[in-house]
């Protein structure tokens, strides 16, 4: 489909005033001209599979949060409440498409099979990356706000130069839209018609700063300044997120350039396990968003269709409990990387400078130990 105005060649914004949705918080399915064509293959079984995905992601997230409180992990940035925004987007991609996320994007590596023991080493401060990026097509999580948007754009430009139709998706929060890196990425993606998807998960807060203070107008509206079409979507609607990302991937693969998706969602938990959200937001606000829970609305819809939600819950619980158990066991067995691991993955091929630095590092270790370097 085209979301570029054919008469003016300017970018359109769908869902600007009312975020695009097909599944209400009450579990009612309604039509949407923009999204429906991209959901023709999604029936009750496919929706149930997405529900299981979201349940696994939530259980994984909650287990990591608990492990941090118990002293088994150093820190954790929870994604509670944002499961639909992430699962819907990731499941719309091909395995060959790349995902470039921040520290809160746990869904892509989890659904693509990251080794949980290796991953937990990151949050035990034992290593710098929780998986092999080229195996999962998921870049290492970025702590620098918004920097992954540039990485995604660079990859997308390279994919276009190579002549393949792979897509790069940059995932970031509302706060990152104020960063120069994100805006520079939008400039380059627009200029070079790069196959980039900019997924902004507007979860209401940049740490403690409400989005209303950051921006007077919807964030999706900013994309028009770069002549990038945008979709403003109910980020707690798993079907809407799946369809919106399919719209974006279709455009990218057709050579029509980048798309900006603003997913309206909510961060139900703290910014990280070091944060106390009660200091800057009201409990009533949190309670209101609980009624928009992405898993709850799927349950309500399937119940209205006569499906056995209890059976689905049990299936999801069995799978998610297994993931949680494996994650905890992996974290307990995790060992720190050798200190010279920092010299790996610096260049695609060998470098005399890195080789020299590795030798200097080995000599330093040897001197500290009072003997030959290990």
DSSP 125-164: TS-S-SS-HHHHTBPPPB-STTHHHHHHHHHHHHHHHHT-
Res 26: pLDDT: 97
Both structure tokens of 202: 């507007």
Q: Report the C-alpha gap between 13 and 160 in whole angstroms.
A: 25
How is residue 248 written in tokens? 């974006």
Note whether 362 and 281 are same-domain residues: no
2 found inside a domain: no
Which whole number is the average pLDDT over 173-194?
98
pLDDT band at 371 (very low <50, low <70, confident <90, very high): low
255 belongs to a structural domain: yes
Of the two residues 77 and 130, the one the predictor is more confident about is 77
Residues 249 and 343 in one domain: no
Q: Which two tokens stand for residue 133?
A: 């990026």
From 267, 292, 300, 328, the catalytic residue: 267
The confidence score (pLDDT) of residue 349 equals: 84
Q: Are residues 37 and 137 in the same domain?
A: yes
Residue 1 is assigned to a structural domain of this protein: no
pLDDT greater than 50 at residue 258: yes
pLDDT above 80 (res 131): yes
Output the domain CATH number for residue 314: 3.40.50.970
What residues make up the domain containing 108? Answer: 13-337
User: Do 280 and 244 sit in the same domain of this protein?
Assistant: yes
How many angstroms separate the CA atoms of 63 and 168, rounded? 29
Residue 251 shares a structural domain with residue 226: yes
User: Are 86 and 150 part of one and the same domain?
Assistant: yes
Mean pLDDT of the chain: 94
Residue 48: how many other CB atoms lie within 10 Å: 19
Asked whether residue 6 carries a pLDDT value surpassing 60, the answer given is no
State the total domains in the chain.
2
Residue 172: which H helix or E strand, with range? Answer: strand 168-173
- The answer to whether the CB of 271 falls within 8 A of the CB of 243 is no
Domain assignment present for residue 8? The answer is no
- The string of pLDDT tens digits covering residues 204-254 is 999 999 999 999 999 999 999 999 999 999 999 999 999 999 999 999 999
Q: Which of 94, 134, 280, 282 is catalytic?
A: 280
C-alpha span between 347 and 297 (Å, rounded) = 47
Question: What global pTM score does this model have?
Answer: 0.93
Would residue 371 count as lying in a domain? yes
Answer whether 198's CB lies under 8 Å from 248's CB: no
pLDDT above 90 coverage of the chain, percent: 87
Q: Is 280 among the catalytic positions?
A: yes
- 321 pLDDT above the threshold of 60: yes
Same domain? 228 vs 347: no
Do 204 and 84 share a domain, yes or no? yes
Catalytic residue among 271, 292, 297, 300: 271
Q: 346: pLDDT confidence band, cut at 50, 70 and 90?
A: confident
pLDDT digits (tens, 9 = 90+) for 95-106: 999 999 999 999
Q: Please check whether residue 84 lies inside any domain of the structure.
A: yes
Same structural domain for residues 307 and 347?
Answer: no
Assess whether 117 and 226 both reside in one domain. yes
Of 263, 298, 310, 234, nearest in space to 53 by CA? 298
Q: What is the mean pLDDT of residues 14-18?
A: 87
Q: What is the pLDDT of residue 344?
A: 86
Same domain, yes or no: 109 and 196: yes
Q: Which residues contact 112 (CB under 8 A, 6 or more apart)?
A: 90, 95, 136, 137, 138
Q: Is residue 367 part of a domain?
A: yes
Do 21 and 48 belong to one domain? yes
Active site residue 104: no
**271 part of the active site:** yes
Give the DSSP per-residue string, 229-252: -EEEEETT-HHHHHHHHHHHHHHH
């Amino acid at each position: 489909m085209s979301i570029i105005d054919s008469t003016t060649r300017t970018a359109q914004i769908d869902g600007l005033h009312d975020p695009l949705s097909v599944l209400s918080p009450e579990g009612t399915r309604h039509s949407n001209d923009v999204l429906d064509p991209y959901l023709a293959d999604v029936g009750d079984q496919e929706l149930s599979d997405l529900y299981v995905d979201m349940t696994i992601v939530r259980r994984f997230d909650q287990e990591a949060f608990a492990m941090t409180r118990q002293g088994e992990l150093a820190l954790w940035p929870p994604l509670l409440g944002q499961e639909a925004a992430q699962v819907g987007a990731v499941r719309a991609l091909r395995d060959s498409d790349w995902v470039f996320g921040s520290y809160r994007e746990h869904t892509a590596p989890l659904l693509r099979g990251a080794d949980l023991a290796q991953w937990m080493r990151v949050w035990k401060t034992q290593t710098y990356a929780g998986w092999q990026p080229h195996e999962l097509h998921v870049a290492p999580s970025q702590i620098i706000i918004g920097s992954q948007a540039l990485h995604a754009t660079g990859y997308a430009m390279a994919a276009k130069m190579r002549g393949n139709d792979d897509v790069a998706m940059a995932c970031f929060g509302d706060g990152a839209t104020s960063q120069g890196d994100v805006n520079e990425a939008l400039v380059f993606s627009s200029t070079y018609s790069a196959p980039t998807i900019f997924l902004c998960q507007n979860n209401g807060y940049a740490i403690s700063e409400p989005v209303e203070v950051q921006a007077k107008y919807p964030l999706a509206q900013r994309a028009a300044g770069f002549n990038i079409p945008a979709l403003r979507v109910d980020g707690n609607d798993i079907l809407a997120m799946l369809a919106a990302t399919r719209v974006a991937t279709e455009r990218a693969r057709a050579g029509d350039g980048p798309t900006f998706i603003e997913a309206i969602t909510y961060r139900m938990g703290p910014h990280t396990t070091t944060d106390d959200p009660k200091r800057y937001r009201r409990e009533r606000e949190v309670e209101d968003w609980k009624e928009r829970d992405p898993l709850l609305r799927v349950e309500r819809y399937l119940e209205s269709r006569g499906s056995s939600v209890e059976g689905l819950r049990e299936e999801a619980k069995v799978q998610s409990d297994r993931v949680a158990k494996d994650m905890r066991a992996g974290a307990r067995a995790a060992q720190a990387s050798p200190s010279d691991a920092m010299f790996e993955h610096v260049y695609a091929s060998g470098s005399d400078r890195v080789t020299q630095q590795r030798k200097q590092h080995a000599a330093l270790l040897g001197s500290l130990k009072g003997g030959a370097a290990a």
